[in-house]
Amino acid sequence: MAKRKPTKEENLLLPLNLPDNLEESSEKHLRSYIPSPFIAAALPSRDIKKPVFIRKYNNVTMKLTSGSKVPFGKYGRLLLTILTTHAVLCKNTNPHEPVVINYKSLNQLLKELQLPSSRSNDIKEQLDCFKECSFIFEEKLEKVVQTSLFHDYLDEDSIETLGDEVKATKKSTDIIPFMKQMEYVELEDRKGNQQHIGLTIVLSKDFAGFSQDHSVPIDYTVYKNISSAIGKDLYAWLVYRNNSIKAPLFISREALVSQFMPIDDKSHPDQLRTNYEYIKEQIKIIKQKYYPELNIDFDKAGVGITLYKSKPPIIPEDKRYILVTANL
């Protein structure tokens, strides 16, 4: 990979006033980014072995389509945040344009991901998923407005029929490929052992722009260390959701299960409770090991959780962290 001079932002190391959980760890804490729509509507948690995956959350529908299968699991999530971070880094210098990422080898990408070389097949699998994959981002916004706002589109009879106010529903759809191009050289010895060198990833301009406009910072060190894909989703969501909390917020178990571990009408009657208990277990692990400042109550009757404003573990341009890409 062609060497570049690290930016001032990438060279910023942690200052003195660190949270307790950072001070106690000798491990560097790294910052990366995630597109906020993928926090609300995450990748599948496992390999669904299908070319289409649909996730819905409130007024947002995320539809992943691929020629073979869509990205998934914990390694798909880690790779997504790395790709997003490279896009965000180009926000000021090359906004809404394709982003070229060069690696000398697949092993260099693994080092950036903070993963051992033994995970090369897992990351290669996710790369192959992303290279063929696009996502359709659909958003529906409803609002009651004055009918007169649409006088350029309606005749007088229509305006009179609709009345003074009308419920307007705006529906928007974006079709966004993750990559424009990917290439590498595959070397294979006589024993069948393979190495992948000269890896180039070109992010599509649509994905780069989407990431630059809609991403939020995440503690990559914590995100990587959480072993469960659902746990990663919950951690990212808890950090993101905390930003907008102004008063205690109750979230029902049905809403939590629908977002993170949805069930269908054919599921066993106990599946809702089982999934909710798993979600609770993951949140408790997050609070105990990764986000002790999380201010949360679990309803004793098992009907949901209440979130209170918590100390944020990371903020935009947080100088306590270095970028995950800084060591390239």
What residue ranges do the domains of the chain occupy?
20-139+173-220+319-323
For residue 49, the model assigns a pLDDT of: 94
| Interacting residues of 165 by C-beta distance below 8 A, sequence separation 6+ | 144, 145, 146, 147
CB burial of residue 276 (10 Å; 0-12, 13-18, 19+): buried
Structural contact between residues 87 and 99, judged by C-beta atoms closer than 8 angstroms: yes
Q: Mean pLDDT, 10 residues at a time, over the chain (328 residues)?
A: 42 33 56 94 95 89 94 98 97 94 97 96 97 91 87 82 87 92 94 92 97 94 96 97 94 95 86 96 97 96 95 80 79
Structural contact between residues 64 and 258, judged by C-beta atoms closer than 8 angstroms: no
302-312 confidence digits (pLDDT tens) = 999 999 999 99
Structural contact between residues 71 and 185, judged by C-beta atoms closer than 8 angstroms: no
For residue 328, the model assigns a pLDDT of: 62
For residue 18, the model assigns a pLDDT of: 34
For residue 5, the model assigns a pLDDT of: 44
For residue 221, the model assigns a pLDDT of: 95
Which amino acid is it at 169?
T
DSSP 6: P
Angstrom distances, CA of residue 72 to CA of 43, 224, 270, 282: 6, 15, 26, 19
Residue 130 has a CB neighbour count (10 Å cut-off) of: 23
For residue 193, the model assigns a pLDDT of: 87
